[in-house]
Structure 1
Amino acid sequence: MSVHAVVITAVIAAIASCSSSAQICDGLGEVIPVQRLSTKTGYFSAVKDESYWSQFKQEVWGCTAKQIWLLNRHGTRYPTGNDMGQLYDVLPGMSQRIVQNHNQGRGCLTKESLDQLSDWFPSYGIREKEQLHEMGYEEQFALGEYWRDMFPQLNNVSYDPQKFKIEFTVKNRTGQSAYHFLRGMFGDDAIGTIELPEPYSPNFILRAYKSCPRWLKEVYKNEETTYKERRLFTQGEIFQSTLHAVSSRLGFMHPLTPRELEAIYDECRYEMAWWPKQKSAWCMPFTSYDFEVMEYHQDLKYYYEDSYGTPLNSETACRTYNDLYSHFRTTISQEEAKPQGIFYFAHDKTILKVLARIGLFRPSEHLRHDNFGEMRDRVWRSSFVSPFSANIVFVLYQCGIEFKVGTFFEGQPTPLPELCTGVACRWKELQPWLHENYQTCDLSQICMMHDEL
């Protein structure tokens, strides 16, 4: 018998033993960790680190904000086409089987959850595919208000296309995000007069990876390498224990497939992002520990597909920083900001690559299938670094004859320990890295296929 078979046999035996007692139902009905739902975490629920405000204020005391550069992930959305197809395929029939299981005396769900599932059907259709949800409208509107109030000297003015640069990708949800962000910043009366630009593709500032053949082949479509750690984790004891436990709590006598478990988890995450004050029945078979396992399962995907797990990821973000460098350098040399606000709207893949490019939230070691226990307190987790409406903002300050750059992540001052000292970077510290990035950023070379070299 293989090692893998031995592990699975042991897991099944343990779960079967546990299922015969009330222990399998322990831990259900607890508070759903809405702040730990990977990339489907709602922005209002996401964890934000406010610990650097005091130091930051001291470092920029007496300084004047000259220019703001913002990169925003779109707000909370409806499922993608692929997600929607899987949810429609798996969940309506499963909801009925779960109710039947409980009617036959198997399972752990409460009457309230069973009532939700008894006539459950997706609340969305093909027209909503990938579109911004109403909660996404609220997130982006709130962000527009937040940055207006944070920097009134820059943003609490009438909209002028000469003062503000707006750009978003060809996906509707980023254009919708830009609209509601600007509505929050400039008001409902002004938004009708703002003419949004036409998106274009390829866009090497906001979505270079989509036009990078090497990334598409070596990373995104590389099942053997990119998704190896996640595949091994799926096959391992920790994930299989959660799969069998959830199956038992739903009253199934045979374990669900990983695909079915992921569909349950995804619907749970969507519903909690849309309605965070309610309790989705699809979340109820998971304990707090199970949510950690499922988050790590997601992290193993995004870490290698978009972040530190694969060096090429951060390389594809070099044009994004060239844009930042160009705007700030021009403002410093001319002492006048044109435009004074640069607002970009993109995707989680963009955010993750941009963060990795400057070394933000780099973990102490790579996430792997076999170090879940050691990484439970990791600094890099997708729920934190890429929730819906995730944003990274750079603000150029003039402090007498010196310039500084404040970095904000999720609206909070954030130091760049790999690039500069302090919380606000001195321009003379940050400029050499930006200049080197500018000189070495050749996407045609970076994205060239290896077999073409």
Structure 2
Amino acid sequence: MKILILVTILFTIKMSNSSCYWNENCHYKQFSSKTPYEFVRGDIRDSVVMKPGCKTISLWGLVRHGKRNPGENFVYKMLDATLLKDYIKTSHEKGDGIMCAQDVDNLSNWIIDEDTFHNVHQIAKEGYEEMAGLGHRFSAVFKDLLISTDEKNYTLRSAYGHWLENSAKGFIQGIGNESLVIDKPHKTYDIIAPYESCNYYMKGVKQNPEIYKEPTKYQDMTEFLAVKEGIQKRTGINYTLTNENITSLYDLCRYTSSGTHKKLSPWCALFTTEDIKVLEYIGDLRHYYRNSYGTPVNKIFGRIPLTDLLETFIKAKNGKGNLFTIYFTHATMMDMVYTALGLFKDEVPLTAEFRNDTRKWRSSKSSAFASNLMVTLNRCIDGDETDYNVVFYLNERPLDLICNNGECSWREFEEILKPFVNTTLDFC
């Protein structure tokens, strides 16, 4: 009997060591809208769709800004949460927590990054790298378009915010064409973020507590309560962690992880894969109701930039349009455009009662840092025949939910976007 107990203890210890965060071979890296682009991107150089006899004559893109530092309110809460690493170390030394020794060491040796916590709401170094990488890869494929130096041939513009304007600068650096000029943001937010100047949206949706009812409710559900209990036991902290504590620890995990350098934060060791999936779902619920299908008005805002896409390509088709048009915006605008196109729509609305692991709406993939919707207009010549097609790309992969694996005939393209042409925001 004693031998059996000893074997059981040894087996338990072995199993515990085999699941330490520091030596796991595969981590779950989907952190809702704070997911580094490197974790979700493709590579346009490998995935570009180009038929024989075709040439791209115009490129249109909507790009979310690169990774940015958290805002002031989040920073204060995250800084408070960093104090917990000393509690975790002390608990481990007492034998109260169940984290692996190396994970505790890594957390104990973690040093605050001055840029992340002092330059609030600014683009992070990694965010600039994400943008530069994006520009570099697109220039490798569409060099003939992006080398233009005539301001009449292109549009580069961002919504308001230094992190957006610096994202555009990073993109230009990646292209390698320093002569490109970034237009100043429009005061009316026009097509890049029209909801920002809409009182109906800002007060009735974004600032409306009812919009966040489902994610708030989810924090009272069994799944989230299990996350809290698990972290409590794992860390051995001797006081009850609040929902705010959990959120701040999660923010430390995702804001201090790096995609470009392929390095996850030691703060992520506090969570299991299931924990991260639960926290990701809270982000999905927020995006779903604030920016997408959960609120009907959202799809109307998404039609505004899509109308610009259609008009831009009609002009290019007639020899009068831009060689390229790139707008830098927020995750909110990205979500609204997906909604207008009917993308990632689940048959059953997302709710707190049920988390579907096979759901289509995943903010980690569609609204990650630097996420982008790029569209190309291609002229195809076959003898005396001239035709046009349009290809949609999401995060540097053909968007297979539209037309034929992302490739539309001109007629299909017009049929999708023409209904949006007369969209108005009179309700604002």
Q: Check whether the contact 1:360–1:416 (CA below 8 A) recurs between aligned residues.
A: yes
Structure 2 residue aligned with 1:450 = none
Provide the C-alpha distance between the structure 2 equivalents of 1:47 and 1:166, rounded to a whole number of angstroms. Answer: 22
Q: 1:216 aligns with which of 195, 202, 213?
A: 202
The answer on 1:95 being equivalent to 2:85 is yes
Alignment of 1:65-214 (within 5 A): 65-88=56-79, 90-118=80-108, 122-124=112-114, 127-155=118-146, 157-185=147-175, 187=176, 190-191=177-178, 193-214=179-200
More divergent stretch after superposition (233-242 vs 26-35): 26-35
Pairwise CA distance, 1:127: 4.4
Provide the C-alpha distance between the structure 2 equivalents of 1:257 and 1:25, rounded to a whole number of angstroms. Answer: 28
The answer on 1:307 being equivalent to 2:292 is yes
Structure 2 residue aligned with 1:349 = 332
Pairwise CA distance, 1:102: 1.6
Q: Check whether the contact 2:156–2:181 (CA below 8 A) recurs between aligned residues.
A: no
Q: What amino acid sits opposite 2:335 in the alignment? A: L
Q: Deviations over 1:375-400 (max 9, x none)?
A: 10222211111111100011111224
Secondary structure of residue in 2 paired with 1:308: coil
Q: 1:262 aligns with which of 235, 240, 247?
A: 247
Provide the C-alpha distance between the structure 2 equivalents of 1:259 and 1:25, rounded to a whole number of angstroms. Answer: 30
Secondary structure of residue in 1 paired with 2:391: strand
Secondary structure of residue in 2 paired with 1:344: strand
Secondary structure of residue in 2 paired with 1:398: strand
Pairwise CA distance, 1:443: 0.9
Q: Check whether the contact 2:38–2:259 (CA below 8 A) recurs between aligned residues.
A: no
Provide the C-alpha distance between the structure 2 equivalents of 1:275 and 1:249, rounded to a whole number of angstroms. Answer: 29
Pairwise CA distance, 1:416: 4.3
Pairwise CA distance, 1:280: 1.9
Q: What amino acid sits opposite 2:307 in the alignment? A: N
More divergent stretch after superposition (104-113 vs 350-359): 104-113
Secondary structure of residue in 2 paired with 1:162: helix
Provide the TM-score with structure 2 as the length reference: 0.88
Classify 1:120/1:268 alpha carbon distance in 2 versus 1 (closer, same or farther; 3 Å): same
Secondary structure of residue in 1 paired with 2:349: coil
Classify 1:32/1:100 alpha carbon distance in 2 versus 1 (closer, same or farther; 3 Å): farther
The answer on 1:376 being equivalent to 2:386 is no
Q: Check whether the contact 2:68–2:163 (CA below 8 A) recurs between aligned residues.
A: yes
Provide the C-alpha distance between the structure 2 equivalents of 1:69 and 1:199, rounded to a whole number of angstroms. Answer: 18
Report the identity percentage: 28
Q: What amino acid sits opposite 1:220 in the alignment? A: K
Q: Check whether the contact 1:63–1:398 (CA below 8 A) recurs between aligned residues.
A: yes
Classify 1:352/1:273 alpha carbon distance in 2 versus 1 (closer, same or farther; 3 Å): farther
The answer on 1:444 being equivalent to 2:407 is no
Provide the C-alpha distance between the structure 2 equivalents of 1:26 and 1:309, rounded to a whole number of angstroms. Answer: 41
Structure 2 residue aligned with 1:298 = 283
Provide the C-alpha distance between the structure 2 equivalents of 1:47 and 1:330, rounded to a whole number of angstroms. Answer: 30
Classify 1:83/1:194 alpha carbon distance in 2 versus 1 (closer, same or farther; 3 Å): same
Classify 1:423/1:277 alpha carbon distance in 2 versus 1 (closer, same or farther; 3 Å): closer
Provide the C-alpha distance between the structure 1 equivalents of 2:181 and 2:405, rounded to a whole number of angstroms. Answer: 39
Pairwise CA distance, 1:353: 0.9
Q: What amino acid sits opposite 1:261 in the alignment? A: I
Gaps of 5+ in 2: 1-11
Q: Check whether the contact 1:34–1:272 (CA below 8 A) recurs between aligned residues.
A: no
Provide the C-alpha distance between the structure 1 equivalents of 2:136 and 2:18, rounded to a whole number of angstroms. Answer: 43
Pairwise CA distance, 1:28: 4.0
Provide the C-alpha distance between the structure 1 equivalents of 2:260 and 2:405, rounded to a whole number of angstroms. Answer: 39
Classify 1:302/1:33 alpha carbon distance in 2 versus 1 (closer, same or farther; 3 Å): farther
Provide the C-alpha distance between the structure 1 equivalents of 2:387 and 2:296, rounded to a whole number of angstroms. Answer: 34
Q: What amino acid sits opposite 2:35 in the alignment? A: T
Q: What amino acid sits opposite 1:325 in the alignment? A: L
The answer on 1:234 being equivalent to 2:219 is yes
Structure 2 residue aligned with 1:7 = none
Q: Provide the aligned C-alpha RMSD in A.
A: 2.5
Secondary structure of residue in 2 paired with 1:242: helix
Pairwise CA distance, 1:274: 6.0
Structure 1 residue aligned with 2:398 = 413
Gaps of 5+ in 1: 1-20, 448-453
Provide the TM-score with structure 1 as the length reference: 0.83
Provide the C-alpha distance between the structure 1 equivalents of 2:135 and 2:260, rounded to a whole number of angstroms. Answer: 21
Q: Deviations over 1:37-68 (max 9, x none)?
A: 11111111115499x959x55xx432221100
Provide the C-alpha distance between the structure 2 equivalents of 1:142 and 1:258, rounded to a whole number of angstroms. Answer: 36
Q: 2:370 aligns with which of 389, 411, 430?
A: 389
Q: What amino acid sits opposite 1:277 in the alignment? A: K
Q: Check whether the contact 1:78–1:130 (CA below 8 A) recurs between aligned residues.
A: yes
Provide the C-alpha distance between the structure 1 equivalents of 2:188 and 2:232, rounded to a whole number of angstroms. Answer: 44
Provide the C-alpha distance between the structure 2 equivalents of 1:239 and 1:351, rounded to a whole number of angstroms. Answer: 28
Structure 2 residue aligned with 1:243 = 228
Classify 1:432/1:158 alpha carbon distance in 2 versus 1 (closer, same or farther; 3 Å): closer
Provide the C-alpha distance between the structure 2 equivalents of 1:268 and 1:275, rounded to a whole number of angstroms. Answer: 16
Q: How many residue pairs are counted as aligned between the two chains?
A: 408
Q: What amino acid sits opposite 2:357 in the alignment? A: R
Provide the C-alpha distance between the structure 1 equivalents of 2:41 and 2:128, rounded to a whole number of angstroms. Answer: 20
